[in-house]
Structure 1
């Protein structure tokens, strides 16, 4: 169970930059833009196969921005599963054939990092959608790296 007053740091990917109104409402958030990317998906049968895929990506000179397992294989070896890897830019057909991955294009996005207590996250996400900045992904990073100032209860 999460304490209502416990703060966590979140990374929120938005389909566009947050509005000035949203930035004013949450002044402690940091915002940066990401470039367009290609998301590659491939099933691997363990850590050695994932390492080989990472070497193939490096051999092509691609900039890797994200790696995560989408689904694990229950009866397979440890680390086996479907992985998504994101690289900068839009890859051409020769590179995609070489990598033997399914893929999709990811448009330029905004990455927001902010610290919120449990009840604030829902309000923040609602405010994002209300201003037209669609949600692409939300990830709790962990406890805040720096404690943010707390308002004093009963202060004016």
Structure 2
């Protein structure tokens, strides 16, 4: 039973099982959740999702034997949530944040690529945490300028 619950959470309520680009589906799920439930955009959920995501990804890796399986999208969900921390989540901000986060998550420039080598769930989560932080910083600059 525990492995089914863990898999449900790791795959973002099974959104990671959708065809083509599961990470994008996990990110999109978080965008939809934030749009309809803006109170989710808070420090406590970000912390719980990030720390819990490390444990959940560890468990999935041990259970399946696959490091950073593409169906695991809890990392994208946490990173996408970090992208909007402390911002008003209007539709244009959500769209810009989604595009920025996906760019950094896919291209993995500089340090984002390096942290993937961390062991187990830590490596799974940290590249998306950094992608979220980079996206947040750029969004804040864009909002300030415009």
With the shorter chain as reference, the TM-score category is under 0.3
Q: Give the TM-score taking structure 2 as reference length.
A: 0.24
The structure, 1 or 2, with the larger RCO (C-alpha pairs under 8 Å, 6+ apart) is 1
Which of the pair has more CA radius of gyration? 1
Task: State the TM-score, normalized to the length of structure 1.
Answer: 0.23
The structure whose residues are more often strand, as a share, is 1
